[in-house]
Amino acid sequence: MDKTKSFAFVSGHSFQKPAKDDWFTPKWIFDALKLEFDLDVCAPKEGVSWIPTKAHYSLDDDGLSQDWKGLRVWMNPPYSKPTDWIVKFRNNNNGVALIPTTIGKWWLDLYNDERAKWLALPPMRFIDSFGNVASNTMPSRAWLVAIGESNITALKMSGLGVIR
Q: Tens of pLDDT along the chain (164 residues)? A: 333 222 223 333 333 344 455 667 888 999 999 999 999 999 988 888 899 999 999 989 999 999 999 899 999 998 888 999 999 999 999 999 999 888 889 999 999 999 999 999 877 766 665 666 665 555 457 899 999 999 999 999 999 998 98
**Cβ–Cβ under 8 Å, residues 118 and 111:** yes
**Cβ–Cβ under 8 Å, residues 95 and 73:** yes
What is the dotted CATH code of the domain comprising 19-157? Answer: 3.40.50
Q: 37-40 and 73-75: which strand pairing?
A: parallel
**Cβ–Cβ under 8 Å, residues 41 and 57:** yes
* Domain edges within the chain: 19-157
Distance CA 91, CA 156 (A): 22
